[in-house]
A = this chain, B = another copy of it.
Amino acid sequence: MTLSQALSELSALLGDRLSRSPSDLALHGANEAHFAPTPPDAVAYPATTAEVAEIMRICARNGCPVTPWGTGTSLEGHALPIRGGLTVDFSRMNRVLEVRAEDMVAVVQPGVTREALNTELRATGLFFPVDPGANASLGGMASTRASGTTAVRYGTMRDNVLALEVVLADGRVIRTGTAAPKSSAGYDLTGLFVGAEGTLGLITELTLRLQGQPEAVAAAVCAFPDMTSAVETVITTIQSGLPMARIEFLDTATAAAVNAHSQAGLPEQPHLLVEFHGSDAAVAEQSERFGAIVADAGGEGFRWATRPEERNALWKMRHNAYYACLALRPGARAVITDVCVPISRLAEAVEETAADIAASGIPGPILGHVGDGNFHALLLASPDDAAEMAEAARLAKRMAERALRLGGTVTGEHGIGMGKLGYMEAEHGAAWDVMGTLKAALDPQNLLNPGKLVRQ
């Protein structure tokens, strides 16, 4: 029962699909965030569920930690194998197994990315709506309970995963859920594995809910005199029942950044980017009503984009906002925050955060999926300046604590990973112990992504 015994058995199973090359280890020990690299001892590239199950049995017999890997786009270091052992890279399990157009579901392997799925769906009139920005793998998106710009209309991964196939810590393979739209048959195991960050099992297949391509789409961008009027426009729009497909906030600093990066030509003011989906008549009506709410709030510079190329340019600008903000301060590292609060506390949360950042002297553009109460500050600190890095960490901590004080959560969509573990006790109290009890019950050897999510 040793690591070398595990690696020898894995090598016999997988041949050259077990890699110990320095470049592979380095790649799978790196992360998109600012956590120290921690390479695994080996990387497995399984091709089938049966292989994943056999990998897990070998690792269980030999006490070898197992950390799953999708595309490595997580922002909190979820996939860092901090106790070493094996990383299971799902990039070879990247087939769309079935598209059932009549049921509006797709069955996919975990390594399929959201863009690959949507490319495959193009001819069907259907699409998969969850859009976290990065072209993440669907297994990874399920594991972090990802969401993004469209969650205000279509929900998060919690709402869009109907069923899973999962390999458990002892190598058993289970199926949770069915392709029926709903069920009352027992504990919601699908919901338990979604958001579990690979700590309870390895997802080997997903049944996903699809949406029909809307007949009409209209997007708009509008500028506001101040942050408060933008955020209050969001609240009024939600309460008036307008079914937005997207509603995104950019603060003045973000507007300046996307101007510099994408020649967007935005006025340097707070903005909302919004999109409506529906029939031609419905979208026209919703656009008109939204325009009236914006005008009441003092919004201006209202521009509608109904042609696909205009809309694509708009959302490309939004998706590139991260890089645009990074470019505000070349050489800086972005400490990325991810709080989510009840809508009634959104204005307060954004304003206090902005004031705190302004007082710090560190650039910190704010943007987010404000229809969900979810926003991010990108705190741009110089990695060589210890005082700046400490100040960025302090601002991030204050944001998380503020979200909790306002009745919200320290992570709306990025997940816990390495970065948010320290807040779990404060957010969940005794419920965090319950998470630990569930983890211990399903993974008594603590092999699956050890060091993450539960109390260590």
Chain A residues at the B interface, C-beta cutoff of 8 Å: 100, 102-105, 144-147, 151, 156, 158-159, 168, 172-176, 178-189, 191-192, 194-196, 200, 212, 214-215, 235, 238-241, 278-279, 281-282, 285, 289, 338, 340-344, 372-374, 403, 407-416, 420, 423-424, 427-432, 434-435, 437-438, 440-442, 453
Q: Most chain-B Cβ atoms within 10 A of its Cβ — which of A191, A214, A415?
A: A191
Q: List 4 tightest A-B contacts by C-beta distance, closest first.
A: A441-B441, A191-B191, A102-B344, A183-B409
State the CA gap A184–B453 with chains docked (Å). Answer: 11
A415 surroundings in chain B (CB, below 8 A): 184-185
Known: A174-B429, A174-B430. A411 touches B195 (CB 8 A): no
**Nearest neighbor of A408 in chain B, beta-carbon distance:** B180
Whether the Cβ atoms of B241 and A179 lie closer than 8 Å is no
Say which residue of B342, B373, B416 sits within 8 Å of A186 (CB atoms).
B416
A420 surroundings in chain B (CB, below 8 A): 185
State the CA gap A135–B184 with chains docked (Å). Answer: 19
* CB of A60 to closest CB in B, whole Å: 15
**Nearest neighbor of A157 in chain B, beta-carbon distance:** B184
A412 surroundings in chain B (CB, below 8 A): 180, 182-184
A403 surroundings in chain B (CB, below 8 A): 180
A-B contact pairs, 18 of them (CB 8 A): A105-B342, A174-B428, A174-B431, A174-B434, A176-B431, A181-B342, A182-B373, A182-B412, A184-B195, A184-B338, A184-B409, A184-B413, A184-B415, A185-B428, A186-B428, A186-B432, A215-B241, A282-B285
**Nearest neighbor of A165 in chain B, beta-carbon distance:** B431
* CB of A292 to closest CB in B, whole Å: 13
Say which residue of B100, B285, B342, B441 sits within 8 Å of A438 (CB atoms).
B441
* CB of A213 to closest CB in B, whole Å: 8
* CB of A372 to closest CB in B, whole Å: 5
Say which residue of B145, B185, B200, B289 sits within 8 Å of A411 (CB atoms).
B185
Whether the Cβ atoms of A192 and B184 lie closer than 8 Å is no
Whether the Cβ atoms of B409 and A340 lie closer than 8 Å is no
Whether the Cβ atoms of B187 and A192 lie closer than 8 Å is yes
A416 surroundings in chain B (CB, below 8 A): 184-186
Known: A182-B413, A412-B183. A189 touches B104 (CB 8 A): no
State the CA gap A178–B189 with chains docked (Å). Answer: 21
Say which residue of B181, B184, B188, B279 sits within 8 Å of A343 (CB atoms).
B181
Known: A183-B409, A341-B180, A413-B184. A434 touches B430 (CB 8 A): no
**Nearest neighbor of A338 in chain B, beta-carbon distance:** B184
**Nearest neighbor of A144 in chain B, beta-carbon distance:** B184
Whether the Cβ atoms of B188 and A192 lie closer than 8 Å is yes
Say which residue of B151, B235, B241, B408 sits within 8 Å of A102 (CB atoms).
B235
Whether the Cβ atoms of A168 and B239 lie closer than 8 Å is no
**Nearest neighbor of A159 in chain B, beta-carbon distance:** B159
Whether the Cβ atoms of B184 and A146 lie closer than 8 Å is yes
State the CA gap A438–B338 with chains docked (Å). Answer: 30
Q: Most chain-B Cβ atoms within 10 A of its Cβ — which of A403, A441, A453?
A: A441
Say which residue of B173, B214, B241, B408 sits within 8 Å of A214 (CB atoms).
B241
A453 surroundings in chain B (CB, below 8 A): 186-187
